[in-house]
């Protein structure tokens, strides 16, 4: 076990606590493969974390790959040269090529979660999608990576609740807790070849990639629950759910479902119907009122202006 070499690939803040936890609990990591800030900007990584900070603290050497997808020949040569036994992740949003996977004597640990057991919920942004869909639980899996997306043989899992108070940020906290536990108990077993795996069964379902443009709120099409879930799924560290008032962008970071009985019968869906002294305001929605609590907007929001979100005007009939 002492002679086995572990490498970490990571670029996301969700992996920061996990990797520090492993290092503090006697898991030795030989090398970090990470992205620098310029690469993170180029690839528009929400929640980017610079692991060179941890590398310096723990005296771990760093390799910056030529390509995020690790398909450059120089990247392959790096892994071939070092002959790592095991790869762990600190958040890496790309598949690792089979040519590189084949250089590891044990394999690469995949970490992926979904509202149901794999193969349901493979793909991108599963925590965000689970909040958007109003799911009530999330299951984190550890598996040995294959060339496909999240299709490897599973060897551990844990689940946690998604409750009405959660945002994408608190789900990352929960994700960190269960992933730390699983990795710490599983890595020593992997290093000595004492692990049981099982094949994923069932028809796969894949979540698609999300972009900044997917964050626009559709006031006339979604009910208040859908909008509330959408906002908490896209809050920081993500770019936020947004809309436009008189062609000026408003980003909503925090909201709550305010009431389902109070009616504004003469107002459009998506219309601001009340503004409170604390600079919070109410929006009329399908099936209820939404209280906007934290937002970014270049201007003042007052009820006197009669503000209505642009897509409410365009889509309301």
* Kind plus residue range of the DSSP H or E element containing 233: helix 224-233
Residue 301 scores a pLDDT above 90: no
3-state secondary structure (DSSP) of residue 274: strand
Percent of the chain scoring above 90 in pLDDT:
77
Residues 6+ apart with CB under 8 A from 48: 11, 12, 13, 35, 37, 40
Could you give all domains of the chain from N- to C-terminal order, each with its CATH number?
A: 6-207 (3.40.50.170), 212-315 (3.10.25.10)
- Tens of pLDDT, residue by residue over 231-273, are 999 999 899 999 998 889 999 999 999 999 999 999 999 999 9
Question: Vertex 289, ends 125 and 232: CA angle to 5°?
Answer: 20
Cα distance between residue 76 and residue 70, in whole Å: 7
Cα–Cα distance, 110 to 87 (Å, whole number):
9
Sign of CA dihedral 213, 215, 216, 222: positive
Q: What is the DSSP letter of 167?
A: -
The tokens describing 69, both together, are: 């997808």
What's the mean pLDDT in 36-61?
93
Residue 36 neighbours by CB distance under 10 Å? 14
Which residue has 């980003």 as its token pair?
A: 251
Pairing of strands 281-285, 288-297: antiparallel
Residue 317's pLDDT is 39
pLDDT band at 300 (very low <50, low <70, confident <90, very high): confident
CA distances to 141, 205, 266, 282 from 114, in Å: 8, 10, 41, 33
> Is residue 169 helix, strand or coil?
helix
**Cβ count near 59 (within 10 Å):** 6
Give the 3-state secondary structure of residue 253: strand
pLDDT score recorded for residue 190: 95
Question: Roughly what angle, to the nearest 10 degrees, separates helices 168-191 and 16-24?
Answer: 40
Give yes or no for a contact between 104 and 85, defined as CB atoms under 8 angstroms apart: yes
Q: Given the structure tokens 């250089």, which residue do they identify?
A: 103
At residue 245, φ and ψ (nearest 5 deg) are -120, 115
Q: What is the pLDDT of residues 106-165, one digit of tens each?
A: 999 999 999 999 999 898 889 999 999 999 999 999 999 988 888 889 999 999 999 999
Give the chain's end-to-end CA distance (angstroms, integer). 68
Condensed to tens digits (0 to 9), the pLDDT of residues 200-237 reads 999 899 998 888 889 999 999 999 999 999 999 999 98
Q: Which two tokens stand for residue 281?
A: 């305001």
**How large is the average pLDDT for residues 84-103?**
92
- What tokens were used for 186? 């599983």
E strand or H helix that includes residue 112: strand 107-114
The Cα 222–Cα 269 span in angstroms is 9
Q: What is the pLDDT of residue 292?
A: 96
């Amino acid at each position: 076990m002492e002679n086995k070499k572990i490498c970490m690939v990571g670029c996301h803040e969700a992996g920061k606590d996990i990797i520090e936890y492993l290092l503090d609990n006697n898991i030795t990591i030989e090398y970090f493969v990470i992205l620098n800030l310029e690469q993170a900007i180029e690839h528009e990584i929400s929640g980017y974390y610079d692991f060179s900070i941890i590398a310096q603290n723990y005296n771990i050497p760093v390799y910056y790959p030529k390509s995020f997808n690790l398909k450059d020949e120089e990247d392959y040569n790096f892994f071939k040269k070092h002959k790592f036994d095991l790869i762990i992740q600190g958040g890496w949003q790309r598949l690792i090529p089979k040519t590189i996977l084949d250089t590891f004597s044990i394999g690469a640990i995949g970490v992926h979660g979904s509202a149901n057991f794999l193969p349901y919920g493979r793909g991108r942004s599963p925590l965000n999608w689970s909040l958007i869909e109003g799911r009530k639980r999330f299951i984190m899996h550890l598996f040995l990576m294959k060339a496909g997306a999240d299709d490897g043989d599973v060897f551990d899992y844990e689940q946690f609740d998604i409750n009405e108070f959660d945002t994408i940020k608190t789900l990352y906290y929960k994700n960190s807790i269960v992933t730390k536990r699983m990795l710490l108990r599983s890595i020593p077993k992997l290093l000595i070849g004492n692990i049981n795996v099982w094949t994923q069964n069932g028809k796969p379902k894949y979540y698609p990639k999300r972009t900044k443009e997917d964050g626009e709120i559709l006031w006339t099409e979604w009910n208040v629950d859908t909008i509330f879930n959408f906002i908490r799924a896209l809050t920081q560290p993500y770019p936020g759910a947004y809309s436009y008032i008189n062609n000026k962008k408003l980003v909503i970071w925090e909201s709550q479902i305010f009431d389902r009985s109070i009616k504004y019968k003469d107002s459009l869906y998506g219309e601001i119907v009340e503004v409170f002294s604390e600079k919070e305001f109410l929006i009329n929605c399908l099936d209820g009122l939404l209280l906007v609590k934290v937002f970014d907007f270049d201007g003042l929001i007052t009820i006197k202006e009669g503000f209505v979100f642009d897509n409410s005007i365009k889509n309301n009939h």
